[in-house]
Structure 1
Amino acid sequence: MQKILDFDLEQTLECGQCFRWERQPDGSYTGVASGHILNISEENIPQIAQDEFWGNYFDLKRDYAKIRADLSAADRTLARAAQFAPGMRILNQEPWEALCSFILSQNNNIPRIRGIVKRLCEQFGEPIGDGFFAFPTPERIAALEPEALCEIRCGFRAKYVVDAARKVASGVIDLERLKTAELSDAREQLMQIHGVGPKVADCTLLYGLHRLEAFPMDVWMKRAMQTLFPGRSPEAFGCYAGIAQQYIFHYSRCNPELFAQERQHAG
């Protein structure tokens, strides 16, 4: 079977875009997506790529080498960032799961987010076998009061999750329609949800709705843009700005010396 190029499991599954994959002692990853359970390793990627659902989930039909080359041609710094993690891909996650997960991600670290999401699924999701649970539907969460989420220890985020579920379940927020709406309109729609600001909205657009032009900006990304791309806006990266964002974010977090000069000036 043909080897899949430009796909690295660690770069893709541990970059902060998803929270239901666990690395196993043998280096493989086990996770759940849209009610499907999978163990994936470097060895079985070619077989996984033949499966319609998982091939789409891992975005394996997209030519990331060409995207990376096009982005790199436009900027030398972006070229270094892209080359640092050439195996990173943007997953096609279930939109509601992405929205809910990134609401839970606010002011949180990745291990804790994973724990909250796991408890949410175990408490309110349907069992799907082998000790795994599906992500709870918006209808299931919409029927709850925020206090019911105390056991998953998500704190102040509980009321935001319930509000999001009620708006999605009632059709006030139509996630499918947001896949094709103008990006600014889609962002505004998501920000109708209590507790959803521009960053969570753009994370939902990029990671849940596969809007590859979306460019989430947290404090770290704002700092990276100011330091590495002064005067540039996300729109400057074009229709694959979201992929550029992943390269920049990962490169910046893994190379703190890039900001040493900035700290010296501040001192």
Structure 2
Amino acid sequence: MKEDGNLAKKNDAFDLEQTLECGQCFRWEKQQDGSYTGVASGRILNISEQNRGHVLDDPFWKQYFDLPLDYEEIRENLAADDPTLARAAKFAPGMRILNQEPWEALCSFIFSQNNNIPRIKGIVSRFCVGFGEKIGSGYYAFPKAEKIAGLCEQDLAPVRSGFRAKYILSAARKVAQGEVDLEALKTAPLPEARESLMTIHGVGQKVADCTLLYGLHRLEAFPMDVWMKRAMRTLFPGREPESFGEYAGIAQQYIFHYSRNHPELFVTEKESAAVGM
């Protein structure tokens, strides 16, 4: 399902807001004119509906936004036999899984533990300003694992990441020393890749699967947080993540985004009576 030359059609199936505000990334900010400005792999970008055609001519950004993959066909196949998944996919058909830098994704989802998106963005921003290379006026690259590996928890105090600091240090040291080889995890069997990430102090299955999906582009990975567990229990009772197949991660993103935007689906009869629904 790689690129077939019909890039205009794929551009039409790509929505900036759905992609950049679905909880998979934390370094993009919406501007007053509706455009988005962010940093990825040391590159600064402002992208809008008006300039995205030109932006996506650049091979790096075309790959970053996963334009070569035919999401329309994947969405149709996922939805074919499941009306609930069809509704979820239809709610955000322009959402795509970004090709983020693996180390950045690992750190970002360590920071995400027991946290909300505004606070995660703040922590990531302070982390970059404090330890990343300056790449433009007010912009910083994501700090390298090798630099963070030489720090201590006190050094990370200005980031205000709390208990997560020691987890970041563990991740940095294992990555810098080659104990966790992120590049190798792109092709390792999924259980083996997950197990390797979980050797990092503080990384459980949810953070490992987020890293696999959002940083290593392992589209079969299916992160399960509180929302997803509730969604699976309510909307897909008895169904296992593996049943969604090789693109389970894309299905997960449709389900997650749909569920977060439709909390009424999870109101119990008792709760409904209490609020007069």
The answer to whether the superposition gives a TM-score over 0.5 is yes
Q: Are positions 1:68 and 2:75 aligned together?
A: yes
Which residues of 2 match residues 1-267 of structure 1 at below 5 A?
Answer: 2=8, 4-261=11-268, 264=271
Inter-partner Cα distance in structure 2 for 1:129 and 1:256: 40
CA offsets per residue over residues 88-107 of structure 1, 9 Å max, x none?
A: 00000000000011000000
Q: How many residues align?
A: 267
**Contact 1:121–1:135 (CA under 8 A) maintained in structure 2:** yes
- Report SS of the residue matched to 2:103: helix
How far the C-alpha of 1:146 sits from its partner, in A, is 1.4
Inter-partner Cα distance in structure 1 for 2:117 and 2:225: 15
CA offsets per residue over residues 145-194 of structure 1, 9 Å max, x none?
A: 11111001000000000010000000000000000000000000000000
CA offsets per residue over residues 183-240 of structure 1, 9 Å max, x none?
A: 0000000000000000000000000000000000011100100000000000000000
Inter-partner Cα distance in structure 2 for 1:185 and 1:266: 47
Inter-partner Cα distance in structure 1 for 2:192 and 2:272: 39
Distance 1:265-1:225 versus aligned 2 partners, 3 A rule: farther
The alignment yields a C-alpha RMSD, in angstroms, of: 1.4
Residue 139 of structure 1 aligns with an amino acid whose one-letter code is E
Inter-partner Cα distance in structure 2 for 1:13 and 1:263: 35
How far the C-alpha of 1:49 sits from its partner, in A, is 1.3
- Report SS of the residue matched to 1:166: helix
Which 4+ stretches in 1 moved above 6 angstroms? none
CA offsets per residue over residues 78-97 of structure 1, 9 Å max, x none?
A: 00000000010000000000
Residue 237 of structure 2 aligns with an amino acid whose one-letter code is P
Distance 1:70-1:266 versus aligned 2 partners, 3 A rule: farther
Residue 147 of structure 1 aligns with an amino acid whose one-letter code is Q
Inter-partner Cα distance in structure 2 for 1:123 and 1:11: 30
**Contact 1:103–1:161 (CA under 8 A) maintained in structure 2:** yes
**Contact 1:227–1:262 (CA under 8 A) maintained in structure 2:** no
Residue 71 of structure 1 aligns with an amino acid whose one-letter code is L
Residue 38 of structure 1 aligns with an amino acid whose one-letter code is L
Flag structure 2 segments of 5+ consecutive residues without an equivalent.
1-6
Identity fraction in percent: 72
Flag structure 1 segments of 5+ consecutive residues without an equivalent.
none
Inter-partner Cα distance in structure 2 for 1:177 and 1:262: 48
Residue 47 of structure 1 aligns with an amino acid whose one-letter code is H
Q: TM-score w.r.t. structure 1 length?
A: 0.97
How far the C-alpha of 1:74 sits from its partner, in A, is 2.3
- Report SS of the residue matched to 2:39: strand
